[in-house]
Each structure stands twice: as C-alpha cells, then as structure tokens.
Amino acid sequence: MRVFYSSASPFAAKVRMAASHCDLPFESVATDTMAEPAELLFANPLGKIPVVVLDDGMALYDSRVICDYFDKLTGGQLLPQGLEAFTRVKVIEACADGICDALILALYEERYRPEDKRHQPWVDKQMARADRGLAALEKMLPDLPEKLSTAHFAMASVLGWMSFRFKGKLEAERPALAAWIKAFPEKFPAFSQVGPRPA
C-alpha cells in the first residue's frame, strides 16, 4: 500500500497515524499537490492528498474513506461498534476535519492569492467557523472513547498541525485542547514519526 502525503499535511497525517495504529505496512510517497504530478491526478482526480493506492492499484480518497477502509480491513480497530459510541466518534472526527478545512481555506487565501486580491471577510468567516468548531471540540473532549479511534487521529492531525501553523492560538484560546495535544504522544508514541510536521 502506498500513501501519497506531505509531512505538513494534516489530513495525510491522520491517515498515516491510523495506518500505523492498525499495524498496516505502507510506503509513504512525498507529494507536492501544487505541482500536480500525473501520478497524483491519476490516483485522485481532485488532486488532493492523502490518497492511498492499494497493492491491486485501487486508489482510495479522502481521509475519512481511507480510515473507514482501515477500520473494516482490521475488523474494527478504529471505530467503536455500538451505535452511540460510533456516532460520537464520527461527529468528533467531522468537527476536527471541518476545523481543518476552514483553517486550510484561510491559509490558502494568504498563501496563494496576490495581496490585492485577498478577501478578508472570507478569511474571517473561515476563522470564525474554525473557532466555533474548536469550542465544540473542547466540549466534546469527555466524549472521546478510551480506545484510540478516528476521532483521536482527526483531532491529533488538526491540533498538531495548528501547533506550527497557528502557533500559540490553542494555548491562548483553548487551553484544554492545547493540553490534550501536548499529552497525545504519550498515548500514541508514533505521533513523532507520522504526526504532522513542518515541511
């Protein structure tokens, strides 16, 4: 199995953490989405990472589909079985992923648009969305199951990524989330290898 990734990509980190947790061997393929390599576009017409290419050539995206695939493949290593616990995990995962989507949009506005074409109200909207999501995530902390799940990996992805892309924000605004991500490597030691890292 090959995973198209970049070290800073939070969504790719989510998938690599989940694969490591499930003891699934994989080859990491460093991918620059801006360069749109043919191999990436062939595997994922959307041109985004992460993409997993299975040994038979089948390509899977996006991160939620990939994590759900890993869960099925391993007989339920990433998601609880009971309906209530399953639903709680999926909502936390969706919230963490949504925060990440909003922050990425805000960041891309700065990174990829010429200064005179930037639209601050759009950035403000995304930041407000992310802030509401972070407040909700903090409230849902007690809902996290003891066993590692896709909710943990989605949270570790966005919060780990924020710790270098939005340095100091969590500590200043969401101390419980800042403490959670600080403690996460104790629960999941492979975080230092497969968690998000500055490029």
CB 169 within 8 A of CB 133: no
Q: For residue 180, give the nearest of 190, 171, 189 by alpha carbon.
A: 171
State how far the Cα of 125 lies from the Cα of 106, in Å rounded to an integer: 9
Beta strands in 22-174 (DSSP E): 27-30, 51-53, 59-60
Contact positions with ligand GSH (CB under 6 A) in 88-107: 97, 104
> How many H helices and E strands in the chain?
9, 4
- 13 vs 181, beta carbon nearer ligand GSH: 13
Q: For residue 31, give the nearest of 53, 7, 11 by alpha carbon.
A: 7
State how far the Cα of 163 lies from the Cα of 169, in Å rounded to an integer: 8
CB of 132 to ligand GSH, least distance (A): 19
Considering only the stretches 5-13, 79-87, 130-138, 179-187, report the one whose residues sit in contact with ligand GSH under the rule CB under 6 A: 5-13
Here's the x/- map for ligand GSH, 34-73, by CB under 6 A: it reads as: -------------xxxx-----------xxx---------
Contact positions with ligand GSH (CB under 6 A) in 148-187: none
Read off the tokens for 110. 């700065």
- 37 vs 175, beta carbon nearer ligand GSH: 37
CB of 159 to ligand GSH, least distance (A): 14
33 binds ligand GSH per the rule CB under 6 A: yes
CB of 156 to ligand GSH, least distance (A): 14
- 82 vs 91, beta carbon nearer ligand GSH: 91
76: left (phi over 0), alpha (psi -120 to 50) or beta: left
CB of 19 to ligand GSH, least distance (A): 14
Considering only the stretches 9-17, 86-94, 121-129, 177-185, report the one whose residues sit in contact with ligand GSH under the rule CB under 6 A: 9-17
State how far the Cα of 86 lies from the Cα of 90, in Å rounded to an integer: 6
Query: How many residues of this chain bind ligand GSH (CB under 6 A)?
Result: 13
CB of 175 to ligand GSH, least distance (A): 25
Pairing assessment for the beta strands 27-30 and 2-5 based on DSSP bridges: parallel
- What is the binding site for ligand GSH (CB under 6 A)? 9-11, 33, 47-50, 62-64, 97, 104
